[in-house]
Every structure is written in C-alpha cells, then in structure tokens.
Amino acid sequence: MQAQITIRKATVIDMPSIYSLVRELAVFEKAENELHIDIPYYVKEFEKNTFSAIVAELENKVVGVCIYYMTYSTWKGRMLYLEDFVVKEGHRQHGIGQLLYDALLAEAKTLEAKLVKWQVLDWNTPAVKFYEKNNAIIEKEWWNCKVIL
C-alpha cells in the first residue's frame, strides 16, 4: 500500500464511518440481523464517553477501527475491553490491522490498564492467527453469557 496510513483517536465526525465498519463486521460474522442500533445512537453514546475508538485513515477515509471501553477486573485491575476490531475487506493484509492493534495497546498503557481483553470467533482463522502472532492468550475454557434487555 503506497499511501500514508494515519492512526488517530476517533471523533464524533467519524461515527458514520465507524458504523459502516461495524455493519461490515456484522455481515462478515453472519449476524447483520443482530445490529439493532443506528448512527444517532452511536453519536449519543460516543458523546457520553460510553466507548472510545481509534481509527485508521487512508486518503481521508476511515478504513479501520478499534472500538473499546474501560472496565475492571477484580483479579487484575483496570482493563481495556476491545469491543470491535475491523479493517475494511479491501484494505486487509497491508499492515493496517497491526498499526491499529499497536495503537490500542499503547492507549491501554496510557490509560494504565493492566489487561486488554476481547473475543474472537473460533472460525475466524485469520483473526486467530493475527492474535496468536501477537502473543495473545486465547482462552478456550470460558463460555460467553448474556441477557438481552
């Protein structure tokens, strides 16, 4: 990839682009029907600091994002939770994901997090390989639980 990639903290202006990337991720995960919120909701929650994001920009277009928020581990302390990590399909395999991931870990250190945690689908082989390459610990003994309100 010849053009310069810019990695930066997201602003409210980025919410439509971030929403588009999340929709792309939902389609990839075969779960588009699970996406029940819209751009105005993203804007409202972003402005309330419910979540933060780091974006990758190429030629003034957002092509990747890490969406995260701070939480707490009673065993480890401050924890950054990576909610979504996606690079546009046509821009993968060019190092953008690595730049975003590195920026996320740097942000976690800045926020004095003791742990960064996320989920990955077991069938998403490219993502699993990426995380393994980056020395992530992939726990297989915990089951996800949720209640939809």
- Cα 135 to Cα 1, 21, 59, 67, 97: the distances in Å are 25, 25, 31, 20, 15
CB 22 within 8 A of CB 67: yes
Q: How far apart are CA 85 and CA 120, in angstroms?
A: 10
List active site positions.
131
